[in-house]
Structure 1
Amino acid sequence: MPVTDADVERWLREDLGHHDVTNDVPGSTEGRLIAKEAGVAAGLDAAVAVFDYLGCDADAVVSSGDRVEPGDAALRATGDAQSVLRAERVAVNVAGHASGVATKTRRAVDAAREVSDAVEIAATRKTTPGLRGVEKRAVVAGGGDTHRLDLSHMVMVKDNHVAEMGLESAIRHFRERKSFATKLEVEVESPVDATQAADAGADIVLLDNMTPAETKRAVNLLDGAALAEASGSITVEDVPAYAATGVDVISMGSLTHSAPSLDYSFSTSVA
């Protein structure tokens, strides 16, 4: 899901409004996106796209996934001053948000690696409307897995489905309707339900809101019959305890919905 001109136009229209006097500056200029704190860079492709859309020349100085330290330049842009200044805030916002997601993801991955080299840290669909592509790529930049990008990537049987249809009936219903190439994941809330889901044909069992002890019991009961995914309000601090249970995946909505932006500034000089 690359950033499109339509995305950039929507972002700029939101910021510029109807009559932008603030950026009515003559001449040309050069600017740099500067990290003000340490973190993992992401979203620079989107930031470059904003400058490009307004006719500026822009290039990322670092690659997505690189660590940046305070004072490091992440991007350079040149062009007429009005266009550079108009692009500045949108570019800083999108790069800062994406880099915050990448930085939090890297923290979670590092925490998992303290215990396990195998467990995956994954995002969820708890993304900002209109920014899913930016946020999912930022998760990858931080070393995480995107999980499903949209509803077509995997069938997930959730608690509402089970409440309406029953666990085994819901699994049977969706297995009959999905493609052979599409995985079926089933959300359960107890270790016993995990084995029932696997026996009924789940490819992946999502262990929802279980404690590490309950998660470990579920993993032991599954014994490889299906992939095991832990999810449900798991924080970075919780990751090592869940990684030690033997689950295959730890998914965290907070990677995208609660990551603080990485602090960047944009400084210009007359060319």
Structure 2
Amino acid sequence: MSTHDYAHLLPPTYKTTIAGWLTEDTPSFDYGGFVVGESQKTATLYCKSAGVLAGVPFFLEVFRQLGCEVEFHYKEGEYLDPAGGKIKAATVRGPARQLLLGERVALNTLSRCSGIASASRSLVLLAREAGYKGIIAGTRKTTPGFRLVEKYGMLVGGADAHRYDLSAMVMLKDNHVWATGSITDAVKAARKVAGFSVKIEVECQSEAEADEAIEAGADVVMLDNFDGEGLRVAASSIKQRWAGKGKSVLLECSGGLTKDNVKSFVCDEIDIISTSSIHQGTKHVDFSLKIDH
């Protein structure tokens, strides 16, 4: 596990985002808060299902904004396994009303982020066991308004976050090519405005399309929706054909990859395996927050 603190990646705006979540959850009267009042209480964060702990900075910031103190008993990135019971993952102290104001926002974020980190780590380990030495990456199929948390979870789980948004790199998919007229025209137009500092990736359905993309100057070629054997044949052929021709390109595969079939896609010629299975429809890690009594 990295010794770096992933929280240092977060932009200052994440605090404003969290303030917005709290506003959304209590847009007017806090009836439950009226009931419990301001008495000082201690609450325990329990982990009740196995998974990677991720999303700690978001959890901390929720309660910081509400004037509460949080002490985590495990480090972010650790794998927690309650083995059918529950683990005391953190202690939260503050006014009862504030603890309950932050409870659901903090739990939802932590549970979702931990679920993505767990799925990411699982897929990476499966690929490594199969001998894959390349990059396992997520995709941009993230939830609007929640992308930061989901991409963060991928990183904590050991996966590459891939491009963060449309501005992070150029991804020319079939619709871009059809709208432009050709892969060559699309790549040339993109390079004109993206300059030298932004990578250009092209989604390709065949070796011929891959060759055209490489010739046009693409930095990354995505072999989309190839089956395992077809992928290995195509990737090997492309790499051999362009070896020594002064074209440095990465090959990526994507489309339908899951933990159940990722081993069939592993081959030395593929530099990047990308999948949405590590963040779409992933199971949450079960956390609960209970006031001590």
The whole-number CA distance in structure 1 between the counterparts of 2:277 and 2:26 is: 30
Q: Deviations over 1:151-175 (max 9, x none)?
A: 2221111111111221111112212
Query: Residue by residue, what CA displacement relative to the aligned partner does 1:33-92 show, whole Å, maximum 9, x if unpaired?
Result: 211111011111101110000000113322221101122233321011110111111111
Q: Which residue of 2 aligns with 1:198?
A: 214
1:219-242 C-alpha deviation (Å, 9 max, x unpaired): 112216511111112111121111
CA offset at residue 112 of structure 1? 0.5
Is structure 2 residue 278 aligned with structure 1 residue 255? yes
Report the 3-state secondary structure (helix = DSSP H, G, I; strand = E; otherwise coil) of the residue aligned with 1:23. helix
CA distance in 2, matches of 1:140, 1:61: 21
The answer to whether the 8 Å contact 1:119/1:243 transfers is no
Unaligned runs of 5+ in 1: none
Letter in 1 for 2:79: R
Residue in structure 2 matched with residue 244 of structure 1 by the alignment: 267
Does the 8 Å CA contact 2:124/2:136 hold for their aligned counterparts? Answer: yes
**Which piece of structure 1 moves more, 41-50 or 247-256?**
247-256
Match of 1:174 among 154, 165, 190: 190
Correspondence 1:93-112 to 2 at 5 A: 93-112=108-127
- Please show how residues 225-240 of structure 1 align to structure 2 within 5 Å: 225-240=248-263
Q: Which residue of 2 aligns with 1:222?
A: 238
181-190 vs 8-17, greater mean Cα deviation: 8-17
Superposition TM-score, scaled by structure 2 size? 0.87
Q: Does 1:128 align with 2:138?
A: no
Q: Distance in 2 between matches of 1:67 and 1:238?
A: 24
- Write the distance in 2 (CA, Å) between the matches of 1:199 and 1:217: 20
Task: Using the TM superposition, give the Cα deviation of residue 117 of structure 1 relative to its aligned residue in structure 2, in angstroms.
Answer: 4.2
Say which SS state the counterpart of residue 181 (structure 1) adopts. Answer: coil
Q: Which runs of 5+ in 2 are unaligned?
A: 1-9
Flag the 1:191–1:32 CA change in 2: closer, same or farther, 3 A. farther
Letter in 1 for 2:67: G
Tell me the distance in 1 between the aligned counterparts of 2:163 and 2:21: 25
Q: CA deviation at 1:100?
A: 0.5
Q: Does 2:61 align with 1:49?
A: yes
CA–CA distance in structure 2, aligned partners of residues 179 and 261 of structure 1: 40
- Give secondary structure in 1 for the equivalent of 2:114: helix
* Selected match of 2:29 from 1, 16, 19: 19
**2:44–2:292: 8 Å Cα contact kept in structure 1?**
no
**Structure 1 SS opposite 2:31:** coil
Distance 1:34 1:120 in 2: 33
Give distance in 2, aligned partners of 1:60 and 1:131: 23
Cα distance in 1 for residues equivalent to 2:57 and 2:208: 46
Per-residue CA deviation, residues 18-47 of structure 1 (Å, 9 max, x unaligned), is 222123313111112211111011111101
Q: Is 1:183–2:199 an aligned residue pair?
A: yes
Calculate percent identity across the aligned residue pairs: 36
- RMSD (Å) for aligned C-alpha atoms: 1.6
- Find the aligned partners of 2:285 and 2:127 in 1 and give their Cα distance: 22
